[in-house]
Every structure is written in C-alpha cells, then in structure tokens.
Amino acid sequence: MNYQNCTLCPRRCGVDRSKGELGYCRCPDTALVAKTMLHHWEEPALALSGGSGAIFFGGCTLGCSYCQNRTISRAPEGTPANSRQLRQMMEQLIAQGAENIDLVTPTQFLPTIIPALSKPLPVPVVYNCGGYELAENVRAMAGLVDIWLPDMKYADDNLAFQLSGVKNYFDMACSAIRQMVRQTGAVRWQGEKVVRGVIIRHLILPGQVENSLKVLDWIGQTFAPGEVLVSLMRQYTPMPGMPAPFDRPITEEEYESVLSWMYLNDLEGFTQEDTSASNDYIPQF
C-alpha cells in the first residue's frame, strides 16, 4: 500500500499523493491526527474501565452528509504525524491506561499507520472504520488488527449514494467484512472484554427501517450465531440543513422495530441508551 497510486479505498482515485495530488478524500501523504483521547463511549466490551485509546484521524473516504465528526472529516484537519510519532501516541495512550488502541477512520493513512504497528502492542488494536474498505487491503493487514469495528451503514445502494456519495457501498462492505471475519475468526472474549473478532456497527437512520432490516438480514444469513457481534446505534443526530426525514432523530417505534429484528435474527451484541441521540456524545475536536 502506498500514496503514489492511491488505491487505499474502493474509490481507487489513482492519484499520486506524494506529489501533492488530491483524491476524493483530499488527504495528504502524512497522517493527520485530529485528537487522541481515552474514549469512554465506545462499546462497553471495548472501553471497559480504562477507555479506548482513540486516535481520531482527519479526513474520510466516505462523505456522509450526517457525519458527526464533520469538522475533521470534510476538510481534513489534524496535526501531521509520521509513523514514529504515531507509535509514540499509541504508547502514551497505553501508559495512561488505554484498554486498546482504537484507530478511528484510519483507511486514508494506511501507509503511515502500518509501520507504526509493525512491533506488537501489549493491548488489542481496533480498526474503527466506515465499512467502505477494499477486501485486499484488509487481507494485507492480517496480523496487525485484533478487533475490526466496521460500520455496515447501507444495504440500499441508492441510500448510500444519496447520503454518502458512494455507488458500491454494499458490495464493498460485504466483501471487506467477510475478509475481516476470515482473519480473526469468531469473537473471542476474556471475561467482559472482547480481545479478538469483528463487531459490526449499524446506525439506524430516520425513515429507513427497511435498510436496517436488510443489513441485519445479511449479517444473520452470512455468519453463525455469536460469530460476530452487532452494535446497534440509535444516536443519529440531525445536522443543520438536512432534508426530511433526515432532519429528526429516529423514533422509539423505528428503534424497537430494528431491535426486534436483531433478536429475531439471533444476533448478539450491544444496544444504546435513548439518551445517546444528543450532541453531548460528539467529541469536540
């Protein structure tokens, strides 16, 4: 993987970022770190008491109009960091008590991140991404990631295009997530803590219950019970200017419909409190 002919994500822009050319994500050829923190709002089996050691990267390969981190994802923001500096950030977070190293939206900077992970860390490495990944790049990271934490945002490609500007989301996410599970095997627990495996996040969108049910159907039909975990998120927070029906939080009825489908599909995982749909849960960058 390199920045010279950038095919780090399925957009395959082919630009030479080392010469200052910009692709869809508009990111340079050095990692941009927007924030590091002990993150206590991740899934309980990840955050535990110490918190996830989150490294938030600037930029994104998707363009979700409802993105909660838009201040760092749209115009890529952050402090430039090379592989050695990234490694130091990881070690500092671990020294502060981080339960894991949680790489948040990392894909656009893989050539900088991979060398930082070449020496094993004493805590699990979590790859926290939007699900829009190339399976071959996931394969290239075998042995470097312990816990994959991808979104599965859409089974409906029209919705994916409307909200995230991407035409092939579902196919790409399905292949990538299958590859992630091939690499880690079934979820492995140590007491209350997940130490290996795949946790698939799904954010319920207002007026889009059908999309959510199709996502859960795919997960239920593809993996054995308990092989992956599902993290069902109800925290959709409308950003200013979103058109209807995306200008409101999800309703209790929408949440209950999706939640019961999750149980009907025998899917194990995590759910969220209804107080999570609030700007209070958006990290300040």
Under the rule (CB under 6 A), what is the footprint of ligand SF4? 6-9, 11-13, 15, 23-25, 27, 61, 108
Nearer to ligand SF4, 27 or 37 (CB): 27
Measured from the CB atom, the residue of 27 and 267 that comes closer to ligand SF4 is 27
Nearer Cβ to ligand SF4, position 167 or 214?
167
Q: How far is the CB of 3 from ligand SF4 (least distance, A)?
A: 8
The residue among 4 and 96 lying less far from ligand SF4, judged by its C-beta, is 4
Work out how close the CB of 204 gets to ligand SF4 at its nearest, in angstroms, rounded to a whole number.
26
Closest approach of ligand SF4 to the CB of residue 158, in Å: 21
Which residue is nearest to ligand SF4, using beta carbons? 23
Q: Which of 144, 25, 122, 18 lies closest to 73, judged by CA?
A: 25
| 111 vs 206, beta carbon nearer ligand SF4 | 111
Smallest gap from residue 170 Cβ to ligand SF4 (A): 18
